[in-house]
Amino acid sequence: MSAPNPPANPTPAHSRENPEPHEEQNFPSLLLLFLCSVLIFGSALYFQRYSGTFSPLVYNEEVQGSGVAAGTATAVVDPVVMGKRLFVQNCVTCHEVTGLGKPGIYPPLAGSEWVNGNEEAIVRILIHGLGGPVVVNGATFNGAMPSFGPLGSNWKDEKIAYVLTYVRQEWGNKAPPVTAETVARIRASIVARGKAWTAEELAEYHSATK
């Protein structure tokens, strides 16, 4: 037995090794890294700007100001500003931004004797709604005004007071503000009611101050 012969033509050691590692400019992955950084940085900026310190109070529509001190701030709420916001969100579909309504369909609030008259009537209208024929600025309407109280959107006293205060001083209307206390008092007196008002039922209040 002789020792096995070495391979006839051995591969030289250096050419059997892997190539030396060398730095390679890998453009696609560099670009990806860069984009990720930008995204993360951008998200951080976004949260910094819009998170509102993650305080739930920031989204409380009754809190004004920066929101950082929202829980403690004794922010003064401007009923007209609040009322306008509520009006734009909830009333313009029918009564229009101009307060003019739609002829024959939705009555105007601008110049309306109801809006400018005794608050006892319009507070009731907002709480339970209004149905049946009603005369506004000399024109008769016969539609259905939705309830913003227990039969509808269930607004609390403040919101009803804000929106009425707003409509009573906009478009040339000149009636005094409505307070949440007034809404609370009237609401307490009609808790048992389960349907919309008619203009006829409200006539006693309506005629009281116009």
- Of the candidates 160, 60, 172, the one whose C-alpha atom is nearest the C-alpha of residue 116 is 172
User: Contact, 83 vs 177, CB < 8 A?
Assistant: no
152 touches ligand HEC (CB under 6 A): no
Q: How many residues bind ligand HEC (CB under 6 A)?
A: 28
Question: What letter does residue 157 receive in the DSSP assignment?
Answer: H
Closer residue to ligand HEC in complex, CB, 134/186: 134
Indicate which single residue of 82, 130, 178, 186 sits in contact with ligand HEC (rule: CB under 6 A).
130
Question: 143, exposed or middle or buried, with CB in 10 Å at 0-12, 13-18, 19+?
Answer: middle
Indicate which single residue of 123, 125, 175, 178 sits in contact with ligand HEC (rule: CB under 6 A).
125
| DSSP SS3 for 206 | helix
Piece in contact with ligand HEC (CB under 6 A), picked from 31-39, 44-52, 87-95, 202-210: 87-95
d(CA 131, CA 197): 6
Shortest Å, Cβ 125 to ligand HEC? 5
Applying CB under 6 A, the residues found at the interface with ligand HEC are: 90-91, 93-95, 106-109, 112, 114-115, 122, 125, 130-132, 134, 136, 141-146, 148, 163, 167
